């Protein structure tokens, strides 16, 4: 739900999703057997705000979080959908308001799945891809991302017959919007115009798009110097389109 934010409310009578908490439960709570699994009965932005301000310090003995991840969302967040995405909204809150580097992950297919059932293939693949990107960013050193920047990451459809393993994927540095009238981008892969994530995901192949977003307005980062900073951090995993 974009960047909507509202105080959490008492859980309705039908309980939390997947029967994960009973009806009438408090506005926020944790799984009794695993305190790392928490819920916030509100919007995605409210959830990450609660995580940053309350949950993380409680879990980590008062330490503040250094990197915020949202998703993977069920369904792609590309082009104009970025403006209305709760997954992106949560990452933008972290990057802009909390000044914490943030990455929004979205997957092309699959269904929302409970935490206590067998993990489907798409979730396993998306988890491996997200871990690879996150680890690359962390290994690049602090600051993990430039100020007021988030990464919009989209994974394509996964199936048993196509893109079924993380090692089949290539990571492509892209733009959220086509950039037909924007200034030239960083000189990368032999061109000064980064590919559009929409067209990249439509190509035949297993491509992950990584687009730097401006947390102030959810548009592209057009500053070439900032683009180059992020390219250098991700360079160990980046590829060029054929």
C-beta separation of 76 from 122 below 8 A: no
What pLDDT does 112 receive? 87
Q: What is the dihedral of CA 132, 135, 139, 145, to 10 degrees?
A: 100
Residue 131 CB burial class (10 angstroms; 0-12, 13-18, ≥19)? exposed
CB 182 within 8 A of CB 145: no
- Over residues 66-116, the pLDDT tens digits come to 999 999 999 999 999 999 999 999 999 999 999 999 999 999 999 989 989
Q: Where are the alpha helices (DSSP H) in 24-168?
A: 44-50, 56-59, 86-92, 121-139
pLDDT greater than 90 at residue 167: yes
Per-residue model confidence (pLDDT) at position 32:
83
Average pLDDT over residues 218-238: 98
Q: Residues 171, 237: contact at Cβ < 8 Å? A: yes
pLDDT digits (tens, 9 = 90+) for 110-153: 998 998 999 999 999 999 999 999 999 999 999 999 999 999 99
> CA 108, 110, 113, 117 torsion: positive or negative?
negative
Are 196 and 234 contacting, i.e. CB atoms less than 8 angstroms apart? no
Is it the case that residue 219 has pLDDT exceeding 90? Answer: yes
Tell me what percent of the residues of the chain surpass a pLDDT of 90: 92
């Amino acid at each position: 739900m974009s960047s909507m934010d509202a105080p959490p409310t008492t859980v309705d009578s039908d309980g939390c999703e997947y029967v994960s908490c009973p009806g009438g439960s408090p506005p926020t709570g944790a799984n009794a057997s695993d305190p790392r699994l928490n819920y916030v009965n509100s919007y995605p932005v409210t959830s990450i705000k609660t995580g940053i301000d309350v949950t993380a310090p409680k879990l980590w003995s008062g330490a503040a979080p250094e990197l915020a991840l949202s998703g993977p969302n069920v369904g792609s967040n590309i082009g104009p959908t970025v403006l209305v995405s709760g997954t992106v909204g949560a990452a933008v809150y972290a990057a802009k308001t909390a000044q914490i580097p943030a990455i929004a992950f979205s997957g092309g297919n699959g269904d929302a799945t409970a935490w206590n059932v067998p993990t489907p293939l798409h979730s396993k693949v998306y988890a491996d891809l997200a871990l690879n990107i996150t680890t690359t960013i962390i290994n690049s050193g602090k600051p993990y991302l430039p100020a007021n920047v988030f990464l919009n990451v989209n994974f394509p459809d996964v199936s048993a017959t196509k893109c079924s393993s993380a090692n089949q994927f290539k990571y492509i540095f892209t733009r959220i919007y086509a950039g037909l009238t924007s200034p030239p981008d960083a000189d990368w892969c032999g061109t000064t115009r980064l590919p559009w994530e929409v067209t990249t995901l439509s190509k035949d192949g297993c491509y992950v798009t990584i687009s730097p977003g401006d947390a102030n307005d959810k548009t592209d980062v057009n500053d070439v110097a900032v683009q180059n900073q992020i390219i250098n951090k991700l360079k160990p995993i980046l590829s060029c389109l054929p």
